Structure 1
Amino acid sequence: MATKVHTVAQTGFGTGTNELYDRARPSYPAECLSYIRQVSKSTAPLNINCGAGTGIFTRALLAHPEWATSIGTLRAVEPSDGMCDVWTKTVNDDRSTIVKGTFDNTDLIIIAQAFHWCPDYGKASAEFARILKKDGAVVFIWNLEDRFASVFFSPLRDGAGWVAQLRDRIEVHEKGTPQFRLGLWRKTFSTPEYISSFHPQDEEEWAYHLLASEQIVTDRAKSKSYITMLPPDEKAKVVEDVKGILERGDDKVWINKEEGTYQYPYKTYIVVSRKK
């Protein structure tokens, strides 16, 4: 199956942009990785396909105590050469490889912070079904700044004021890209390919706080694909406006005011689809 990559993803995550992405983006809560470990009904060693990115999820999985003894092979798939370069530099484990292509006889597919870029949900579901064993599963996982009370279970409402303002400021540059928050990926679950091969999806979310500072928040904003592509003057204006938002600090909860650290509200969302 030919690989088709969204232009913004291909350019925004191109060579030279991904060291910032790897440094600025958060890892995944340990309890979320424990949850995913219980998804697979297969006993160890597991053969896993996961989206590669820069290796943030791969490193978290390999280091997690419940996964360390469970992984047989972990094959990371990534269409971006820039992200492949960073993954290769940051992941050092004999069980893991990074490749382009598809695989067979797989227990578990994990797609971290990526499935919203999928160009064809029906074809993706058919491919998942092809490579998964019976009772195998595909897991989609995302981290997102907690601007909203809930994406899955309750009406949307603003959370921390500064986070809502931050998101409003950077989202004007999305230019129609298929961001996770828009929920376009939900069309997957109504495609004939999905319905014929998978059970209805299970969905979970976790709320927590990360450490924030002006540098962390600014770098994370700059790591967004659509921000990396901006001309220098526009990118500088984004940085200036983010600084202003943080200086106002609406609803900011300090961790250590003298050190300039405060709570960064976050949520992790997991969707699990099990093959029939």
Structure 2
Amino acid sequence: MATKVHTVAQTGFGTGTNELYDRARPSYPAESPLNIVEIGAGTGIFTRALLAHPEWATSIGTLRAVEPSDGMCDVWTKTVNDDRSTIVKGTFDNTGIEDGWADLIIIAQAFHWCPDYGKASAEFARILKKDGAVVFIWNLEDRDGAGWVAQLRDRIEVHEKGTPQFRLGLWRKTFSTPEYISSFHPQDEEEWAYHLLASEQIVTDRAKSKSYITMLPPDEKAKVVEDVKGILERGDDKVWINKEEGTYQYPYKTYIVVSRKK
């Protein structure tokens, strides 16, 4: 089956960029159950959080991760060490999972890259058991949480160049496709605001880990880093955790969408 991966996702997350992604990106609040297919598993940030949580340990039989990027698969293999889990190459619309195997599909920080929402919905319905569910999860810096965060996002988002970022909401077209409507109930959505630990290094590395920033020429990337440093030095609305250690609050939001199979 012919499948497509967005050019920026493929190149921006190519070999050599993924150790930075794995170090810089935040993990996930630990609230998730059951036997799982994780699509777009990336470097294993969510996989590790899921497998490590003591409340989930007895309820996960097998986790089958699916990821199109060779570079991310390599990092996943190096960082996820659990006999319950494996990873294979695949995409949203071609997972390689057998019919009706999954109790739960999780897609963390990835579904905005989906090239065909209808085909993906059909694939989810195919591999899910009756009454199974798809959980879509995103973390995003909360521009309403502090002035410096809004300035940071304004500075880096100018480089998106039309890529299908989560914030644009293009992924919402999923829920109006015939394939989705015929197989799933209307989605449920939740949002949580919270703070992560921030420092100049953490914020700078996270900005550099964005796919569209990794692709910039060295001089442009250096200018981004310089401008981020200036934003952090001004520190509008910065809330210190430990000023001597240079740590402060990093406003974030997590968005979760749950779609249950009919």
Q: Aligned pair in 2 of structure 1 residues 160, 104: CA closer, same or farther (>3 Å)?
A: closer
Cα distance in 2, alignment partners of residues 59 and 88 from structure 1: 11
CA offsets 1:45-69 (integer angstroms, 9 cap, x no match):
9431443100000000000122111
Taking a change above 3 Å as real, the CA distance of residues 259 and 103 of structure 1, as seen in their structure-2 partners, is closer
For residue 83 of structure 1, the aligned residue among 64, 72, 91 is 72
Separation in structure 2 between the aligned mates of residue 47 and residue 245 of structure 1, nearest angstrom: 43
Give the root-mean-square deviation of aligned CA atoms: 2.2
Structure 1: 5+ residue runs without aligned partners? 32-43, 147-156
1:195-233 Cα offsets, whole Å, 9 max, x none, are: 111000000111110110000000000000000000000
Give the Cα–Cα distance (whole angstroms) in 1 for the partners of residues 233 and 120 of structure 2: 43
TM-score with structure 1 length normalisation? Answer: 0.88
Structure 1 residue matching 2:35: 3-state secondary structure: strand
**TM-score normalized by structure 2?**
0.93
Q: Secondary structure at the match of 1:65?
A: coil
Query: How far is 1:102 from its partner?
Result: 7.7
User: Matched residue of 2:5: which SS?
Assistant: coil
Q: Measure the CA separation in 2 of the matches of 1:225 and 1:45.
A: 29
**Preserved CA contact (<8 Å) 1:18 1:54:** yes
Q: What's 1:161 paired with?
A: 147
Residue-by-residue CA offset, 1:95-150 (whole Å, 9 max, x unaligned): 1000024899991100010000000001111111111111000110011101xxxx
SS at 2:61 equivalent: strand
Report the equivalent of 2:98. Answer: none
Instruction: Return the alpha-carbon distance in structure 2 between the equivalents of residues 140 and 47 of structure 1.
Output: 16
> Aligned with 1:250: secondary structure?
coil
User: What's 1:16 paired with?
Assistant: 16
Flag the 1:274–1:232 CA change in 2: closer, same or farther, 3 A. Answer: same
CA positional deviation for 1:11: 0.4
Does the C-alpha gap of structure 1 residues 254 and 103 become closer, same or farther in structure 2, counting only changes over 3 Å?
Answer: closer
The list of structure 1 runs, each at least 4 consecutive aligned residues, that deviate by more than 6 angstroms after superposition, is 102-106
Paired residues, number: 254
Residue 175 of structure 1 deviates from its aligned partner by 0.2
> Residue 216 of structure 2: which of 221, 230, 240 is its match?
230
Secondary structure at the aligned position of 2:123 is classed as: helix
Distance 2:20 2:170 in 1: 27
The alpha-carbon distance between structure 1 residues 71 and 222, as it changes in their structure 2 partners (threshold 3 A), is same
